[in-house]
Amino acid sequence: MKIGAIFPTTEIGTDPFVIRDWAQTAEQLGYSHVLCYDHVLGAEHAGRKPALGGPYTENDPFHEPFVLFGYLAGVTTRLGLATGVLILPQRQTALVAKQAAEIQLLSRGRLRVGVGTGWNYVEYDSLGMRFADRGKRLDAQVAVLRALWSERLVEFRGGFHEIERAGILPLPETAIPIWFGGFTEVALRRAARIGDGFVFGATATLMLPMLARLREHLRSEGRDAAQFGTEAVVDFSQSRDQWGKEIEAWRDAGGTHLAVRAMDTAAEFVGARRVGFQGPQDFIDALETFKRETGFE
């Protein structure tokens, strides 16, 4: 089982040297990958109809994952780069294909693209995409991405895409896995049908029932669960004893990845508590503390 770290995107700040130090520390300590959240725009929640139900507002800064990964690809050599998740339906598919292919090349094959539909309809509207179409659009986008990453010329016509004998160059030299994320049965079924893995958004012990349902969907699709990736969270705010229990529970359940979440923003939303991180060094120290206390390999 691989253990990575969630990039504290809303709290680490904008100093490129701090971001470099955090990533290089994670790599040197043996973390396998960094998982990065995504939002293009933050929106004020007050006075919205329908209400915005997600945890982030206009006050939460987000680093753009692909630009960030271009930087991290240059300052690390082994650390995997994963989105968890990219809100794909609010983006142009061909542009995402191009950006992801570039990251895969610059990182020498370290990219994993986790995708989802998101919850912020204001963000969709601002980017010129229909929130109501997000599920159907996501289904179509996965097929288009895989075609653009593997074929020199693509011919694709559908409800959301029209590509006539066109392609991206350079193509990625290795396949880019597409994982899904979310908390709904729809997300689980979609992942079982067309995904390479699933990113669960909360701690391992909380996500075990969802993992069981995901595997039921995989069986229904005739897919081998052993060939399907699954990632959950271990939260830094949990007790030291609980860290070990989370790792053991996910490993025993056959989980393939686990990511340490050391970030106060939206802690309550994922059933965690706030630690009180005071500055960039605290996030680097958290990586070191978790490694020292758990001794994971």
Range of the domain at 138: 2-294
So what's the pLDDT on residue 243? Answer: 98
Determine whether 193 is exposed, middle or buried from the number of CB atoms within 10 Å of its CB (0-12, 13-18, 19+).
middle
Reduce the DSSP state of residue 66 to 3 states and report it.
helix
Residues found in the chain? 297
CA angle 62, 200, 14 (to 5 degrees): 15
What value does the mean pLDDT take over residues 179-194? Answer: 97
Tokens found for residue 45: 């929640």
What are residue 197's DSSP bridge partners?
179, 229
Lowest mean pLDDT among 63-67, 85-89, 202-206, 269-273: 269-273
What are residue 82's DSSP bridge partners?
35, 112
d(CA 223, CA 210): 17
User: How many distinct structural domains can be found in the chain?
Assistant: 1
Among 196, 87, 172, CA closest to 135: 87
Would you say residue 158 has pLDDT above 90? no
What's the CATH code of the domain at 221?
3.20.20.30
Percent of the chain with pLDDT over 70: 100
Question: Does pTM surpass 0.75?
Answer: yes
pLDDT digit string, tens, across residues 218-242? 999 999 999 999 999 999 999 999 9
So what's the pLDDT on residue 297? Answer: 86
Reduce the DSSP state of residue 51 to 3 states and report it.
coil
d(CA 99, CA 104): 9
pLDDT digit string, tens, across residues 15-30? 999 999 999 999 999 9
Would you say residue 285 has pLDDT above 90? yes
- Asked whether the beta carbons of 223 and 253 are under 8 A apart, the reply is no
